[in-house]
Amino acid sequence: MKRFKKPRDINLLWIYTILILIEVIWSINSIGKLISPKLINIVKNNIVYYDNLLVEEYVDTKELRSNLVDNLITLDKNKNEEIININIDTAKSYELMANIVKELKGKSNNYGDVDSYAKNKRGSMVLRYPIGLASSNILLNNLGYRIPLKLILNSNVLTGIKTKVTNYGLNNALIEVYLRVSFVSNVIYFNMDEALKSDYEILLASRMVMGRVPDMFNGYLEKNIENNNIKS
């Protein structure tokens, strides 16, 4: 004769199922709260690392130095042959910065492996980290199932050219041309949004010229030109 479960047994089964689901959801939420800040820090540290590599490897200063001062910079002098103004060729400067940004954009689209569990996608990253990362014990960080977590990475490349002239010696001045590069990134993970900015100033060229900056300018002139930020 077939036996049927009593209503009481069915109710207990539903209660146990609901309790288990609540426990699972609570555990996932707790693990997420512990892992999220660590993930953000790991990603930010690696972004800075790869930004450094981009600047070191892909900004070809040898090519940029070639006749840079002659092509971009002219100096205005008064009747006493004193340097009173710096002129920067805007069109050539923007062309130079556009080429640099284009190169950096192409390379920054692939940050390499953010770590050994990262997979890069267009505009986002899928990180696969072990649950053990939630522990503060370093020996347990690599243990457990590797859970996939999706992060959105928005970044911009800002460029600029800085030129300065300073008195150098009795009747000489030193012209220096710097490339300014800034990487501005936002790491977005659900309701978390972390901003990160890396600034670099690279000496591209320098040259001695005849003449001096008047004392009224404290022996120093500077002029900057900035490019529009370009999304990478």
| Beta-bridge partners for 225 | 161
Alpha carbon distance 208, 24 (integer Å): 70
| Beta-bridge partners for 87 | 74
Judge whether residue 115 has pLDDT over 60.
Answer: no
**CA-CA-CA-CA dihedral for 27, 116, 53, 95, to nearest 10:** -80
Q: Check residue 36 and give its pLDDT.
A: 72
Q: For residue 165, what pLDDT band results from cuts at 50, 70 and 90?
A: very high
Decide: 167 and 213 in contact? Cβ < 8 Å: yes
What is the token pair recorded at 186? 């936002």
Contacts 24+ apart (CB under 8 A), 224-227: 224/160, 224/161, 224/162, 224/163, 224/180, 225/88, 225/90, 225/93, 225/160, 225/161, 226/158, 226/159, 226/160, 226/180, 227/94, 227/97, 227/98, 227/101, 227/158, 227/159, 227/160
Q: Check residue 66 and give its pLDDT.
A: 56
Domain ranges of the chain: 7-231
- Nearest CA among 178, 225, 181, 179 for reference residue 206: 178
Helix ranges, the chain (H): 7-58, 61-65, 68-72, 90-108
Decide: 64 and 103 in contact? Cβ < 8 Å: no
Contacts 24+ apart (CB under 8 A), 14-17: none
Q: Check residue 28 and give its pLDDT.
A: 72
Mean pLDDT value of segment 184-193:
74
Judge whether residue 1 has pLDDT over 50.
Answer: no
Q: For residue 164, what pLDDT band results from cuts at 50, 70 and 90?
A: very high
Judge whether residue 190 has pLDDT over 70.
Answer: no
Helix (H, G, I), strand (E, B) or coil at 94: helix
- Nearest CA among 110, 112, 65, 95 for reference residue 159: 95
Helix (H, G, I), strand (E, B) or coil at 75: strand
Alpha carbon distance 92, 69 (integer Å): 12
Decide: 162 and 201 in contact? Cβ < 8 Å: yes
Mean pLDDT value of segment 19-41:
77
**62-90 pLDDT per residue, tens:** 656 655 667 788 888 888 888 888 888 88
